[in-house]
């Protein structure tokens, strides 16, 4: 059984420069690439790789252990990435095949009519031929994806480009990538592949073997002791000692956490690396453990429901009895933002939400959403929908809020996202004058409190008595989607839906006579069924 050390945390700080960093970083990364190659080509185990590293490169066991551990982790990540990419390709092929079949059916109908009566006008004829070209493009794309999928499945060796593929390809077009000579590119290439080394932590004084951290000195700094690999000892000696400082920020007690790890003999995995975008300064990152924070803010005091929208995050505080007491819209801007800016914005939003949970002493509820499958089918969706999906960073939000809730003792509840928007729009949007986002957040909060959502009586049929509530909401959601009823129109849902959904043919979504979306009054039967929907 694996020993539990507590909650894993990361602490990062700038460290003073030492010339050995450059050489050790280059050697370490070279040894790691060799280890990955042995594991792939010769199918060596982790322990066998450790022994070969010690013998071939004359390094201590602890360095070999860290390198072999990282190599195994890297290969596992590559296997997972390959599996995910295969799934993505299969979903893309499925989506494009479905879209192609629909287009073929549509073109067949158009051609059949054109054969009998001809095209009504030139624009219709041009549209037909344009769709034919689109069909050819789709078929070619499907064939290309299938070929790529077959090649990926038949390839056993996992490929990774250390140093970035972009920089590797730059050697073929030096001038276009800002290089005058190949030696200039080669210098950047070696630099990109060398600026990092790591040592796995152990439960002993200092938290490690080859790299150890010692408590605060009198000047308020920590001391790092590095035992160098044998190939570098003639030049730099057996050990070097460096200093770094850790400051507390953003409500994180990093100094206290590091002191606890050192004094409790927790393992501290230490990584030292170069940041090229910060004037090539070197940093230290310490991964260690602190005590688990007990959950003190629970659903007993209510819940904050969170709904993730395209341009804002809706927050609604639901009391223990299911009534709404507080709501807030937190806007954000994802479009044209770098990943760093998005992450910073997300951290600020999550910090704000967790502070609200601490204020109300309640839990937080979020939907267990996963857009990975939808994003794999983006090429077959509309431009506006695709842009919204691209800008949504639900994964980033979930990771950030999970980490912060664990750190501040807030209960995080994941709920099924089924019909939250529809229920919110029908039951609460007109009742409280909410927008669709905050109404959905209210439903999410109520669902986390295990409160049921009944469909309005006027929308029930005699045969619905013994059915689950969600079967009723599924029919409502299907009807709204089929008839393209806008969210703003649902503020008048009684007028809009009461006359329609209680009709005897409502289960099949068919109307014997059309009903006006705003008034609920019958319309002229000659009107188009979608004219007012």
Domains of the chain: 298-453 (3.30.420.10), 457-533 (no CATH)
Which pLDDT score is estimated for 462?
A: 62
Q: For residue 531, what pLDDT band results from cuts at 50, 70 and 90?
A: very low
When the pLDDT of each residue in the chain is averaged and rounded to a whole number, the result is: 82
Categorize the per-residue pLDDT at 533 as very low, low, confident or very high, splitting at 50, 70 and 90: very low
Q: Is the per-residue pLDDT at 41 higher than 50?
A: yes
Burial class (CB in 10 A: 0-12, 13-18, 19+), 493: buried
Rounded to the nearest 10 degrees, the angle between the axes of helix 20-41 and helix 46-57 is 130
Position of tokens 């990092």?
196
Q: What's the CA gap between 14 and 29, in Å, rounded?
A: 21
Query: Can you tell me the distance from the alpha carbon of 189 to that of 197, in angstroms, rounded to the nearest whole number?
Result: 17
Select from 165, 154, 200 the least CA-distant residue to 60. 200
What does the alpha-carbon distance between residue 450 and residue 365 come to, in Å, rounded to a whole number?
A: 11
Q: Quick check: 16 and 226 in contact, CB under 8 A? A: no
**Structure-token pair, residue 41:** 């080509």
Alpha helices in 268-417 (DSSP H): 339-360, 372-376, 383-391, 394-408
List b or e across 221-250, with b for residues whose CB sees 16 or more CB atoms inside 10 angstroms: ebebebbbbeebeeeeeeebebebebeeee
* CA distance between the termini of the chain: 61
Over 50: is that where the pLDDT of 485 sits? yes
3-class SS of residue 238: coil
DSSP count for the chain of H helices, then E strands = 17, 12
Task: Tell me which DSSP letter residue 426 carries.
Answer: I
123-127, 250-254, 287-291: range with lowest mean pLDDT:
250-254
User: pLDDT tens-digit profile of 258-267?
Assistant: 988 999 999 9
Whole-number Å distance between alpha carbons of 233 and 292: 40
């Amino acid at each position: 059984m694996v020993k539990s050390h507590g909650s894993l945390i990361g602490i990062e700080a700038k460290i003073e420069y030492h010339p050995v960093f450059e050489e050790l970083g280059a050697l370490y990364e070279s040894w790691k690439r060799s280890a990955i190659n042995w594991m792939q080509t010769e199918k060596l185990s982790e322990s066998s790789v450790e022994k070969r590293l010690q013998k071939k490169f004359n390094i201590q066991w602890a360095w070999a252990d860290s390198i072999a551990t990282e190599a195994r982790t890297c290969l596992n990540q590559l296997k997972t990435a390959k599996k995910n990419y295969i799934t993505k390709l299969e979903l893309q092929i499925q989506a494009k095949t479905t879209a192609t079949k629909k287009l073929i059916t549509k073109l067949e109908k158009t051609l059949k009519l054109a054969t009998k009566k001809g095209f009504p006008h030139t624009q219709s004829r041009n549209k037909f031929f344009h769709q034919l070209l689109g069909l050819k493009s789709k078929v070619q794309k499907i064939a290309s994806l299938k070929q790529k999928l077959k090649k990926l499945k038949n390839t056993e060796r996992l490929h990774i480009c250390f140093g970035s593929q972009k920089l590797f390809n730059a050697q073929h077009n030096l001038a276009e990538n800002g290089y005058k000579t190949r030696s200039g590119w080669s210098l950047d290439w070696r630099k990109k592949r060398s600026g990092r080394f790591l040592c796995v932590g152990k439960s002993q004084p200092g938290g490690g073997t080859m790299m150890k951290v010692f408590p605060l000195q009198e000047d308020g700094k920590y001391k790092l002791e590095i035992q160098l690999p044998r190939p570098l000892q003639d030049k730099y000696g057996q050990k070097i000692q460096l200093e770094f400082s850790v400051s507390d920020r953003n409500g994180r007690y990093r100094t206290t956490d590091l002191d606890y790890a050192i004094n409790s003999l927790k393992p501290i995995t230490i990584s030292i690396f170069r940041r090229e975008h910060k004037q090539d300064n070197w940093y230290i990152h310490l991964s260690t453990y602190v005590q688990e924070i007990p959950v003190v803010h629970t659903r007993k005091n209510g819940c904050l429901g969170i709904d993730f929208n395209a341009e804002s995050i809706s927050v609604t505080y639901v009391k223990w009895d299911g009534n709404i007491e507080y709501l807030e819209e937190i806007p954000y801007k994802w479009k044209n933002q770098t990943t760093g800016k998005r992450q910073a914005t997300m951290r600020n939003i999550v910090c704000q939400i967790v502070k609200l949970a601490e204020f109300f002493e309640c839990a937080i509820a979020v939907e267990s959403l996963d857009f990975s499958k939808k994003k794999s089918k983006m090429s077959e969706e509309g431009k506006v929908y695709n842009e919204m999906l691209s800008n949504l960073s639900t994964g980033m939000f979930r990771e950030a809020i999970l980490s912060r809730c664990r750190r501040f003792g807030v209960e995080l509840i994941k709920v099924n996202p089924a019909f939250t928007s529809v229920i919110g729009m029908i039951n609460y949007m007109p009742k409280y004058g909410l927008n669709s986002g905050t109404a959905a957040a209210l439903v999410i909060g109520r669902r986390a409190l295990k409160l049921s959502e009944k469909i309005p009586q006027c929308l029930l049929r005699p045969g619905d008595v013994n059915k689950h509530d969600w079967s009723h909401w599924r029919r409502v959601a299907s009807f709204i989607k089929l008839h393209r009823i806008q969210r703003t129109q649902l503020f008048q849902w009684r007028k809009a839906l009461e006359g329609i959904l209680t009709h005897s043919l409502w289960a099949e979504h068919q109307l014997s006579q059309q009903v006006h979306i705003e008034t609920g009054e019958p319309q002229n039967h000659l009107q188009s069924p979608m004219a007012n929907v």
